[in-house]
């Protein structure tokens, strides 16, 4: 970790959101190119009820800075133990707007703003892409919702699931905390549980991976299929006998290394091919 710390800069910012303050962790390459680079908003996991921005040091997010030279912004969004939906989404949305508005000073390309996260952070990634599309405030070039938490309703893989790390009981408890009185009703918004969405058009290209024995397997596969049917480039790698967050908790396993290599391959492709100019006419689609 000491060696990695020498390869990027760490800074912190705060965003005022009414009476609330959203804290941001920002990582940038130590020797950042003079040319502008892609920027990524990375959203931590934890079932919407736990975790913090510094989780990025333990996940796929770090390689985006160290290997690909991207600038990363990670919000410390409010957790559902005290703040149910939509508090976390509001915080992440504020962070996305901050990244867009501060792209120039961060050295970030405005046409290559990306979003990613794992587990609940993956679910929030999708929710944020839906919100950004619908409000037409930020054009997102690519999203990486890794083994995302998307559906508050039971699916074949989340029902009676007793796999390691995350299971049916934990999943129900987390969704109840996040949704409160809306849980189990038809009042749940697509921005709270993105599997409730019925229109997947005009979303950014997507890459994800998932284990075939974990609760989120079916909702992830359904999401990718819905994107593909809407004409969106969406790819998923499935790993046999993987439980939730296997790549993070068993990082030295051969399958985890394979997953990392595939993830980085897809990121490299996105950097080379995926651009989403912002709505302002003053912003060039290929401005460096």
Mean of the pLDDT values across residues 204-220? Answer: 98
Q: Tokens 């912190």 — which residue?
A: 12
pLDDT at 6 over 70: no
Q: Which pair of structure tokens corresponds to residue 76?
A: 């410390």
Q: pTM score, two decimals?
A: 0.94
15-68 pLDDT, tens digit per residue, is 999 899 999 999 999 988 789 999 999 999 999 999 999 999 999 999 999 999
Cis amide prior to 86 (ω within 30 degrees): yes
Give the model's pLDDT for residue 285.
34
In this structure, the number of other CB atoms found within 10 A of the CB of residue 30 comes to: 12
Joined together, the tokens standing for residue 88 give 């976390």
Mean per-residue pLDDT, 253-272: 97
Q: State yes or no: pLDDT of 167 exceeds 50.
A: yes
Q: How confident is the model at residue 3 (pLDDT cuts 50, 70, 90)?
A: very low
For residue 135, the surrounding DSSP H or E stretch is helix 120-135
Q: What are the C-alpha distances in Å from 51 to residues 112, 137, 149, 194? A: 27, 27, 14, 21
Tens digit of pLDDT for each residue in 173-194? 999 999 999 999 999 999 999 9
The string of pLDDT tens digits covering residues 63-97 is 999 999 999 999 999 999 999 999 999 999 999 99
Query: Would you place residue 4 in the very low, low, confident or very high pLDDT band (cuts 50, 70, 90)?
Result: very low
Please name which of 80, 25, 94, 87 lies closest in space to residue 47, comparing C-alpha atoms: 80
Between CA 200 and CA 86 the distance in angstroms is: 21
Q: Which CATH class name applies to 2-273?
A: alpha beta
What pLDDT was estimated at residue 241? 97
Q: What is the pLDDT of residues 96-150, one digit of tens each?
A: 999 999 999 999 999 999 999 999 999 999 999 999 999 999 999 999 999 999 9
Q: What is the pLDDT of residue 279?
A: 82
Domain boundaries, the chain: 2-273
pLDDT in tens, 214-243: 999 999 999 999 999 999 999 999 999 999
DSSP state string for the chain:
-HHHHTTEEEEEEEEEETTEEEEEEEEEETT--SS-EEEEEEE--STTTS--GGGGGGSTHHHHHHTT--EEEEEEPPPTTT--TTHHHHHHHHHHHHHHHTHHHHTEEEEEEEEEEETHHHHHHHHHHHHHHHHTS----EEEEES----SS--TTTTT---SSS-HHHHHHHHHHHHGGGTTSTT--TTTSGGG----TTPPPEEEEEETTSTTHHHHHHHHHHHHHTT--EEEEEETT--TTHHHHSTTSHHHHHHHHHHHHHHHHHHHH-----S-TTS-TT--
3-state secondary structure of 174: helix
For the chain, the first-to-last Cα distance in angstroms comes to 31
Query: Which is nearest to 73 in space by CA: 136, 20, 115?
Result: 115
């Amino acid at each position: 970790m000491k060696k990695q710390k020498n390869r990027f800069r760490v800074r912190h910012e705060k965003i005022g959101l009414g009476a609330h303050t959203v804290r941001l962790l920002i990582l940038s390459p130590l020797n950042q190119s003079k040319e502008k680079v892609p920027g990524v908003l990375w959203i931590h996991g934890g079932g919407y009820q736990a975790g913090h921005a510094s989780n990025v040091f333990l996940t796929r997010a770090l390689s985006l800075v160290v290997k690909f030279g991207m600038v990363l912004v990670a919000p410390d969004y409010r957790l559902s133990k005290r703040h149910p939906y939509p508090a976390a989404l509001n915080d992440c949305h504020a962070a996305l707007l901050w990244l867009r508005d501060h792209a120039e000073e961060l050295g970030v390309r405005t046409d290559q703003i990306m979003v990613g996260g794992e587990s609940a952070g993956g679910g929030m990634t999708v929710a944020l892409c839906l919100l950004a599309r619908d409000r037409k405030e930020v054009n997102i070039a690519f999203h990486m919702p890794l083994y995302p938490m998307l559906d508050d309703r039971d699916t074949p893989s989340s029902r009676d699931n007793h796999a390691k790390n995350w299971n049916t009981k934990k999943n129900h408890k987390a969704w109840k905390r996040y949704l409160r009185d809306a849980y189990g009703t038809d009042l749940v918004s697509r921005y709270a549980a993105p599997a409730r969405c019925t229109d997947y058009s005009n979303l950014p290209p997507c890459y994800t991976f998932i284990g075939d024995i974990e609760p989120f397997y079916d909702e992830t596969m359904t999401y990718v299929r819905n994107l593909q049917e809407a004409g969106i480039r969406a790819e998923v790698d499935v790993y046999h006998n993987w439980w939730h967050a296997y790549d993070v908790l068993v990082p030295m396993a051969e399958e985890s290394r394979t997953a990392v290599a595939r993830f980085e391959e897809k990121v490299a492709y996105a950097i080379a091919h995926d651009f989403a100019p912002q709505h302002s006419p003053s912003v060039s689609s290929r401005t460096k």
